Amino acid sequence: SGTLNATGATAVEITRSSSTTPLAISFTRVDSSAATSGIVLTNTSGSFTVVGNGADVTLGGNGTGGTITGMTGAGVNLTNVSNISFTSMMIVSGGDDGIRGLNVTGFTVNRCSVLNNGNAVTERGLEMTNLLGTANITNSLVTGNAEDNLYVKNGTGTLNLTTSATTYANNS
């Protein structure tokens, strides 16, 4: 595990044009500001994890997993990926979705804050299309995002989604 910090650039981008790239990646912290996206994963298998310091017991997290802020696109952009886990991250004040996923299997958000993302209709805190397998959103704050705080749309497959001890609220 380690840390990444990028200003004006994507901190993590792993993309394969076809098939999948197997991952077994764990970071303690990922920070990115003022870029298109902070984390971009496309066509990966295996796992990608941000763990924070492991001592966080705060609702919404203490930010030790890093901050993705000021993105012009989705703060985190996931396409055709599996086993994604974020702990103690702050994904805030982006111009589009906080976390966007398409064809994601296995997804965890724990003790994260996804706040004030998007500035138009169809821009959300967490937007997932074809979220499959087991997904958990726990002990997190997902508030103040443009249209919806959580949006899941599945056309096929099976999803076991658990959301617990998480606050969802709008700006009003």
Please compute the mean of the pLDDT values over residues 7-19 and round it to a whole number: 93
Please compute the mean of the pLDDT values over residues 6-32 and round it to a whole number: 94
Longest Cα–Cα distance of the chain, Å, equals 44
Calculate the CA dihedral of residues 40, 1, 31, 100 and round it to 10 degrees.
Answer: 30
Whether the predicted pLDDT of 17 surpasses 90: no
- pLDDT at position 18 is 81
Whether the predicted pLDDT of 14 surpasses 50: yes
- pLDDT at position 58 is 86
The confidence band for 172, taking pLDDT boundaries of 50, 70 and 90, is very low
Which pLDDT tens digit goes with each residue over 50-86? 999 978 888 999 999 999 999 999 999 999 999 999 9
Contacts for 155 with CB less than 8 Å, ≥ 6 apart: 129, 130
Helical H segments across the chain, by residue range: none
Whether the predicted pLDDT of 12 surpasses 50: yes
Which pLDDT tens digit goes with each residue over 114-138? 999 999 999 999 999 999 999 999 9
Which pLDDT tens digit goes with each residue over 92-108? 999 999 999 999 999 99
Token pair in block for residue 1: 């595990």
The confidence band for 110, taking pLDDT boundaries of 50, 70 and 90, is very high
- Are residues 32 and 38 in contact, defined by beta-carbon separation less than 8 angstroms? yes
- pLDDT at position 57 is 85
Token pair in block for residue 104: 């994601």
* Closest C-alpha among 9, 38, 13, 12 to residue 112: 38
Cβ burial of 47 (10 Å; 0-12, 13-18, 19+) is: middle
- pLDDT at position 171 is 64
